[in-house]
Amino acid sequence: MHLSQDEQGERFIQRIDGPRKNWKFKAADTRDRKFWPQYVSARQAGLNATSTADSTRYLTPADDRNNTRLILSQVVLDTFESLNLQHPIAGRSVREGLKAIPAQPNLDSSRS
């Protein structure tokens, strides 16, 4: 997920100013922020090196949490649909074995 540098700055301020979010803040966060260009470059290099036709990587905008969740949900849904999954079909031996099982009375029919 991609969080813009401006949004990251806003979230840092919320973590400093908001007592319920103080636990999320680390002093190293402010020091590491100056390495933003290197982080962006490393992230892109990682995506380029690992994304393939069979294993696609996505960089999702994350400034707006609701839209991020919507985008990720759509990616997951599209991925599952592209797989064209089917229920397995029982082989001949399984079907023959099922025929050999005598019919059982419906156990739920005795309940009222």
pLDDT digits (tens, 9 = 90+) for 35-93: 999 999 999 999 999 999 888 899 999 999 999 999 999 999 999 999 999 999 999 99
The residues facing 61 across adjacent strands are 2
To which H or E segment does residue 74 belong? helix 65-82
Spatial distance between the Cα atoms of 89 and 20, rounded to a whole number of angstroms:
53
Tell me: pLDDT of 107 over 70: no
Nearest to 34 by CA among 63, 49, 12: 12
User: Per the domain annotation, does 90 fall within a domain?
Assistant: no
User: Per the domain annotation, does 66 fall within a domain?
Assistant: yes
User: Per the domain annotation, does 92 fall within a domain?
Assistant: no
User: Per the domain annotation, does 107 fall within a domain?
Assistant: no
At 20, phi and psi to the nearest 5? -75, -10
Question: What is residue 87's DSSP assignment?
Answer: P
Q: Which residue would you say has higher pLDDT here, 64 or 96?
A: 64
Domain that holds residue 48: 5-85
pLDDT value of position 100: 82
pLDDT digits (tens, 9 = 90+) for 15-25: 999 999 999 98
The residues facing 2 across adjacent strands are 61
Spatial distance between the Cα atoms of 106 and 84, rounded to a whole number of angstroms:
35
pLDDT value of position 98: 86
